Amino acid sequence: MTAARAVRSSSYMHWAKTQQAARFNLATSGLGNLSLRDLRVSLDDLELTFGGYGYEPLKQALAARYRVDPHSIVTGAGTSFANHLAIAALIKPGDEVLFEEPAYEPMLSTALYLGADVKRFQRQFDDGFRVNAEEIDRLVTQQTRLIVLTNLHNPTGVLTDESTLTQIGKTAERVGARVLVNEVYLETLFEETPRTSFHLGKQFVVTSSLTKAFGLSGLRCGWIFAEPELAKEMWLLNDLFGVTQVHAGERLSVIALGQIQEIAAHAKALMDRNRKLLNSFLDTRDDLETVRPPFGTVMFPRLRSGESSERLCRLLREKYETTVVPGSFFERPAHFRVGVAGNTDEMETGLERLGRALDEVH
Ligand SMILES: Cc1ncc(COP(=O)(O)O)c(C=O)c1O
């Protein structure tokens, strides 16, 4: 595996910031960004400076929504920073970390950057990209400090159910490890969202944010749930990182949480509509095979030919002004990731262009 500290950047994030934008963008994995105007907010609601260890009204709002003790909540800049802070607090350089594959590269790269000795457990296409708790149980050692997964899974959108998570929790407990579950996509199940896995035992640490389901990436409202002692360690460690939060952002996050039902209703309707479009498209393509979850914001089709999707993605971008995410960013080059949370008209035309590009590469 890659040597400690060999990783100092994220190839996916760089691609997302420089190459993803297109006239027909099917590469996004979250609801399109809301604008400040979408939140009913006035300047008088905002303030610049607070300091301290997290803004109490924000911790209270998250505590109420997720039924979590406020002492178990650490806030930070998006799931991304929550992941960084959580992993930094949970491992030392050289510690063994068991990480899902395929994985969301920036989170994996963060673990490598922090010096993790990363081992992998597989989520197989033929097994519906399910997490295999027995495999995790076989792979852990007395040296394993952390087991990491995303739920829903990025890039496939597959849900891991509570009984599987409970089994993984038992494995972790047996060797004295923790389970870090990135739940940023879980909320895209909306009214069917299961409770956070934080409730499954003290070995669980959860990260999430308002980014994916609610189009609120710009708020950078992320959080960690961890047992209170660990949460305190994370707050103290953050004194070496971000130190304090952007207070106007904390205030806006409280306001957004107060309006979250309305935002969710709009988001769910859009994703349901777009998922139907994607499913109809996939029904017409015998050159693709896809695990198709009934929820979430992404799917991860595979070229039946087994070829890399790189040529398809390039053609799609250069000739058809349409982007999907190349599977190589998720360690599965024959796949590509398509999102269903964008604008519906854009999705319709983008899928039609994807079809033309697929016809052309065969
Ligand atoms: C699994 C996963 N975690 C975290 C993020 C980033 O989320 P945030 O905007 O909350 O930092 C993403 C975004 O693509 C993601 O897919």
Residues with CB under 6 A from ligand 1: 29, 78-80, 104, 107, 150, 154, 182, 184, 209, 211, 217, 222
pLDDT band at 2 (very low <50, low <70, confident <90, very high): very low
If you measure from the C-alpha of residue 286 to the centroid of ligand 1, how many angstroms do you get, rounded to a whole number? 31
Tokens in use for 345? 């008209």
Give the span between the Cα atoms of 112 and 149, in whole angstroms: 15
Give the span between the Cα atoms of 166 and 296, in whole angstroms: 22
Query: What confidence score (pLDDT) does residue 213 get?
Result: 95
Reference 152, options 79, 75, 86, 64; nearest CA is 79
Report, as an integer, the average pLDDT of 335-342: 97
The letter for the amino acid at 76 is G
22 has pLDDT over 90? yes
CA 16 to chain centre: 14
If you measure from the C-alpha of residue 79 to the centroid of ligand 1, how many angstroms do you get, rounded to a whole number? 6
Can you name the residues that pair with 323 across neighbouring β-strands? 25
If you measure from the C-alpha of residue 315 to the centroid of ligand 1, how many angstroms do you get, rounded to a whole number? 27
Report, as an integer, the average pLDDT of 328-345: 97
Residues 6+ apart with CB under 8 A from 252: 39, 41, 45, 46, 219, 221
172 has pLDDT over 90? yes
Position of tokens 């960084």?
A: 84
User: Which of 14, 79, 149, 297 maximizes ligand 1 atoms within 8 Å of its Cβ, making it the mutation to test the pocket?
Assistant: 79
Give the span between the Cα atoms of 40 and 128, in whole angstroms: 41
Q: Whose CA is nearest to atom 16 of ligand 1?
A: 154
Can you name the residues that pair with 182 across neighbouring β-strands? 150, 207
If you measure from the C-alpha of residue 184 to the centroid of ligand 1, how many angstroms do you get, rounded to a whole number? 7
pLDDT band at 303 (very low <50, low <70, confident <90, very high): very high
Give the span between the Cα atoms of 145 and 205, in whole angstroms: 12
If you measure from the C-alpha of residue 185 to the centroid of ligand 1, how many angstroms do you get, rounded to a whole number? 8
Residue pLDDT, tens place only, 41-74: 999 999 999 989 999 999 999 999 999 999 999 9
| Overall pTM surpassing 0.95 (yes/no) | yes
If you measure from the C-alpha of residue 305 to the centroid of ligand 1, how many angstroms do you get, rounded to a whole number? 30
DSSP annotation string for 138-195: HH--TTEEEEEEESSPTTT-PPPPHHHHHHHHHHHHHHT-EEEEE-TTGGGGGGGPPP
If you measure from the C-alpha of residue 213 to the centroid of ligand 1, how many angstroms do you get, rounded to a whole number? 11
User: Which of 12, 33, 184 maximizes ligand 1 atoms within 8 Å of its Cβ, making it the mutation to test the pocket?
Assistant: 184
User: Which of 159, 211, 216, 325 maximizes ligand 1 atoms within 8 Å of its Cβ, making it the mutation to test the pocket?
Assistant: 211
320 has pLDDT over 60? yes
Report, as an integer, the average pLDDT of 227-233: 98
Reference 297, options 150, 167, 99, 199; nearest CA is 150
Residue 344: other Cβ atoms inside 10 A: 14
Q: Whose CA is nearest to atom 14 of ligand 1?
A: 29
If you measure from the C-alpha of residue 334 to the centroid of ligand 1, how many angstroms do you get, rounded to a whole number? 23
**Percent over 70 (pLDDT), the chain:** 99
Tokens in use for 295? 């929820």
Report, as an integer, the average pLDDT of 5-9: 85
Residue pLDDT, tens place only, 251-278: 999 999 999 999 999 999 999 999 999 9
Helix (H, G, I), strand (E, B) or coil at 359: helix
Strand 144-150 versus strand 322-323 pairing type: unpaired
Helix (H, G, I), strand (E, B) or coil at 201: coil
Report, as an integer, the average pLDDT of 219-243: 98
95 has pLDDT over 80? yes
Tokens in use for 34? 């809301």
Can you name the residues that pair with 101 across neighbouring β-strands? 122
The letter for the amino acid at 106 is P
Query: What confidence score (pLDDT) does residue 5 get?
Result: 60
Omega into 102 within 30° of 0, i.e. cis?
Answer: yes
Report, as an integer, the average pLDDT of 101-112: 98
Query: What confidence score (pLDDT) does residue 362 get?
Result: 82
